[in-house]
C-alpha cells in the first residue's frame, strides 16, 4: 500500500469572475496512497470540488502539477484526458447525473460504448455492475422512476463499469436522507476494500468523513489547512481482509 495514487504539488486553479480573480485552488500539495479512502472537507467555496475536478481531469490547473497513476494531467491532450477519465477514474456526483432519457442499464452501459467494448460483453458487464449495487431488477427503469438512493447506486454502477483505479465522489450523499446516505457510503467502502479502489470523497459532513475515511483533508479558501488521520468504523475488519 505504499504506492502513490494521486499527488498534487503546489496545485493552483485560478479564474476570473468579472474583475475579481478567484483562487479556487491555491497551492495545494497532497498525496493519496493507492487504496486509500480520503475525504476532502471544507465549507462551500473552500475549493474542495475544484480540487476534485482537477484530479478528475475535468479541469486543468493554472499552475502546479497533479499526477494520477503516473500521469501528469496538465501535460495530457484533450483526447488523452478523455481516455484517462474513461479508464482511470470513476465519478459520482451529488445530483447523480444520470441521463434522464436512458434506462438504468443504458446509463451504466454508456462508458462501455465510449470505450468501444463489444456489444456481447457489454451486457454481461452491465449485469454484473447492477448486481453489485443490487439494481438488476430495475435495469429497464428510467432514473425518474427511481428513488434518490437507487439513482445514486446506479451512478456508482456506472462509475465502476470500466474498472477504474480511482473513485471520485462529489458530495455523494448530499441529496439523500441519512439512512440512504449510509447505504451508499457502505457501497463505496465496499468498492474501496473489496476492489482496492482509491477513493477521494468531497463532503462537508464531518461525521460522514469520520465514519468512512482513513484520512481527512481540510480545505479553506483554496488552501490545505490541516490533515487528520482517522480510524474509520470497521477498520479492524479491514485489516482482517488485508
Partner 1 sequence: MKLPDLTELALRNLRESVLRNSLTTIGISVGVASLVAMLSLGTGLQQMFSRRLAKSGLFDTIFVSSRRELRGMGREEERNGPAPGESRVLDEPARQEIERLPNVLEAYPDIRFVTELRFEDKPHLTMISALPSSAKSNDAFEGMQGSFFSSDMAAEVILQKSFAEELLGKTPPLGSPEPNVAELAQPLLGKELLMVYPQRAAAPPQTAPRPNEPASPDAPVGAAYSVISREQKLKIVGISDLDVESMRGPMRAKVFLPLKLAESLHVMQQTDLREVARAASGEPVYSSISVRVKNPTQVQAVEDALKKMGFTTLSILDASRSLQQVFRVLYAFLGIFGSLALIVASIGIVNTLVMAILERRREIGIIKAIGASDGDVMWLFFAEAGAMGILGGVVGVVFGWAIGQVINFGTNIYLKHQSLPPEHFWAVPWWLVVVAVAFAFAVSLVSGLYPAVRAARLDPVQALRYE
Out of 19, 70, 116, 240, which residue is the one contacting partner 1 (CB under 8 A)? 116
Out of 29, 101, 147, 225, which residue is the one contacting partner 1 (CB under 8 A)? 101
Q: Please give the Cα distance from 60 to 47 (Å, whole number).
A: 14
Task: Find the part of the chain contacting partner 1 (CB under 8 A) among 3-11, 115-123, 135-143, 217-225.
Answer: 115-123
Out of 8, 53, 173, 203, which residue is the one contacting partner 1 (CB under 8 A)? 53
Q: Please give the Cα distance from 52 to 194 (Å, whole number).
A: 23
Nearer to partner 1, 81 or 216 (CB): 81
Residue 158 binds partner 1 (CB under 8 A): yes
Out of 42, 47, 61, 111, which residue is the one contacting partner 1 (CB under 8 A)? 111
Out of 62, 97, 175, 180, which residue is the one contacting partner 1 (CB under 8 A)? 97
- Site pattern 73..92 for partner 1 (x: CB under 8 A): -----xx--xx-xxx---x-
- Residue 11 pairs in a beta bridge with 28
Closest contact distance (angstroms) between CB of 97 and partner 1 is: 5
- Apex 176 CA angle, 173 and 180, nearest 5: 90
Sign, CA dihedral 160-145-187-181, equals positive
Closest contact distance (angstroms) between CB of 41 and partner 1 is: 21
Nearer to partner 1, 5 or 112 (CB): 112
Q: How many CA atoms lie within 13 A of 202 on its CB side?
A: 24
Q: Please give the Cα distance from 237 to 71 (Å, whole number).
A: 33
Closest contact distance (angstroms) between CB of 72 and partner 1 is: 19
Could you tell me the CA-to-CA distances from 33 to 37, 46, 67, 165, 229 in Å, in that order? 9, 23, 12, 11, 13
Radius of gyration of the chain (CA): 18
Grid look-up 475579481 returns: 20
Q: Which residues of the shown chain bind partner 1 in the complex (CB under 8 A)?
A: 53, 56, 58-59, 78-79, 82-83, 85-87, 91, 93, 97-99, 101-102, 110-111, 113-116, 119, 158-159, 162
Amino acid at each position: 500500500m505504499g504506492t502513490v495514487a494521486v499527488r498534487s504539488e503546489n496545485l493552483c486553479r485560478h479564474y476570473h469572475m468579472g474583475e475579481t480573480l478567484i483562487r479556487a485552488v491555491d497551492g495545494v500539495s497532497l498525496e493519496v496512497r493507492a487504496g486509500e479512502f480520503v475525504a476532502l472537507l471544507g465549507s462551500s467555496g473552500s475549493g474542495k470540488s475544484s480540487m476534485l475536478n482537477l484530479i478528475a481531469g475535468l479541469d486543468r490547473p493554472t499552475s502546479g502539477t497533479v499526477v494520477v497513476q503516473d500521469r501528469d494531467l496538465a501535460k495530457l491532450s484533450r483526447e488523452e484526458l478523455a481516455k484517462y477519465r474513461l479508464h482511470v477514474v470513476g465519478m459520482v456526483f451529488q445530483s447523480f447525473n444520470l441521463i434522464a432519457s436512458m434506462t438504468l442499464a443504458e446509463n451504466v452501459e454508456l462508458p462501455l460504448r465510449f470505450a468501444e467494448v463489444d456489444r456481447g460483453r457489454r451486457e454481461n458487464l452491465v449485469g454484473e455492475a447492477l448486481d453489485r449495487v443490487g439494481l438488476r431488477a430495475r435495469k429497464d427503469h428510467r432514473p425518474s422512476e427511481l428513488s434518490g438512493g437507487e439513482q445514486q447506486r446506479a451512478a456508482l454502477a456506472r462509475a465502476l463499469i470500466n474498472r477504474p483505479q480511482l473513485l471520485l465522489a462529489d458530495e455523494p450523499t448530499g441529496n439523500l436522507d441519512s439512512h440512504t446516505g449510509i447505504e451508499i457510503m457502505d457501497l463505496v467502502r465496499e468498492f474501496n476494500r473489496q476492489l482496492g479502489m482509491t477513493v477521494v470523497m468531497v463532503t462537508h459532513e464531518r461525521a460522514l468523513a469520520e465514519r468512512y475515511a482513513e484520512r481527512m483533508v481540510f480545505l479553506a479558501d483554496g488552501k490545505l489547512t490541516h490533515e487528520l488521520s482517522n480510524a474509520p468504523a470497521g477498520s479492524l475488519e479491514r485489516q482482517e481482509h488485508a
